[in-house]
Amino acid sequence: MRICYQTLTTDRLILRRPLFSDAADVFRCLSDEGVCRYIDVDRHRTLADSESFLKRLIQEDRAGIGTEWMIEEKNGKRVIGIIHLSSLSEDFAYIGYFIEKRRWGNGFATEALAALKTYVFSQEKFSRLYALCLPDNKASLCVLEKCGFSFEKKGECRGGKHHGKEIYRYEAKKIQP
């Protein structure tokens, strides 16, 4: 199912489609091993890595495979992260995100996740959101809980660079009126 895309704004952030011109900001984020430690993306060693990454995101968006929102800081007009939404079934979707390391601890991930969760649940088709998180990523576990996600179960990563590692699955449910 294709996800209906919309630019979102919060007090401090703009969540928008990726642009090829975001490559330098993406490189700044993903060239940091600390950021890549918890996500299924290898550390970018060159700007060309980030350009290829963005090209793939833009192609996937056009194909309806996933939707990426660049997390742009309103004040600096710079991308400080990405939040991803992919549709898995008729009524639930997967969400994932990362924030530039020097912006950690400032509530940006919480603000972006809360905005996207509100938007997703305003769409009639989705009643649940899932997020996967490595158990040692304590800050992200806190972000999920602040945004109303609750622990659902432990599992094992299948595929990707974290294959075979323990992973937690968190769920948020749409509150029915």
pTM equals 0.92
- In a structure prediction context, what are the per-residue pLDDT tens digits for the chain, which is 177 residues long? 566 778 999 999 999 999 999 999 999 999 999 999 989 899 999 999 999 999 999 988 888 776 899 999 999 889 999 999 876 677 788 899 999 999 999 999 999 999 999 998 887 778 899 999 999 999 999 999 999 999 999 999 888 888 889 999 999 998 876
CATH number of 8-127: 3.40.630.30
- Sheet of 128-133, strands arranged across: 8-9, 13-16, 67-73, 78-87, 92-99, 128-133, 166-173, 150-156
Classify each residue of 96-120 as buried b or exposed e, where b means 16 or more C-beta atoms within 10 Å of its C-beta.
Answer: bbbbbbebbeeebbbbbbbbbbebb
Per domain, the residue ranges of the chain are: 8-127
